[in-house]
Amino acid sequence: MILVTGGTGYIGSHSVIELHNEGYDVLIVDNFVNSSPSVLKHLKTITGVDFNFLQVDLCDYEQLKDATKNYSIEGVIHFAAFKSVGESVDLPLKYYNNNIQSLTNVLKLCEEREISNIVFSSSCTVYGNPESIPVTESTPIGKAESPYGKTKVFSEEILKDFHKSSSKTICNLRYFNPIGAHESGLLGDYPDGKPNNLLPFVTQVAAGLREKLSVFGDDYNTKDGSCIRDYIHVVDLAKAHVNAIDYNKRNRKLYSVFNIGTGVGVSVFELLSTFEKVNKTPVKFEISKRRSGDVGAIYADCQNAAKKLNWKAKLNLEDMLSSAWNFQKKIEK
> What's at 257, amino acid-wise?
V
Options 10, 148, 220, 231, the catalytic residue:
148
The DSSP symbol for 289 reads P
Question: Which stretches of the chain are DSSP H helices?
Answer: 10-21, 38-47, 61-68, 85-90, 92-113, 147-166, 198-206, 234-250, 268-279, 303-304, 317-332
CA distance 329 to 235: 19
CA distance 44 to 35: 16
- The helix, strand and coil proportions of the chain, stated in percent and rounded to the nearest 5, come to 45, 15, 40
| Residues near 207 by beta carbon (within 8 Å), at least 6 away in sequence | 328, 329, 332
Q: Which of 320, 16, 322, 42 is nearest to 187 (CA)?
A: 42
CA distance 145 to 41: 37
Q: Which of 32, 78, 35 is nearest to 57 (CA)?
A: 32
Specify whether the CB–CB gap between 16 and 4 falls below 8 A: yes
| Residues near 115 by beta carbon (within 8 Å), at least 6 away in sequence | 3, 73, 74, 75, 76, 109, 168
CA distance 36 to 169: 31
Q: Is 299 a catalytic residue?
A: no
Specify whether the CB–CB gap between 163 and 285 falls below 8 A: no
Active site residues: 148
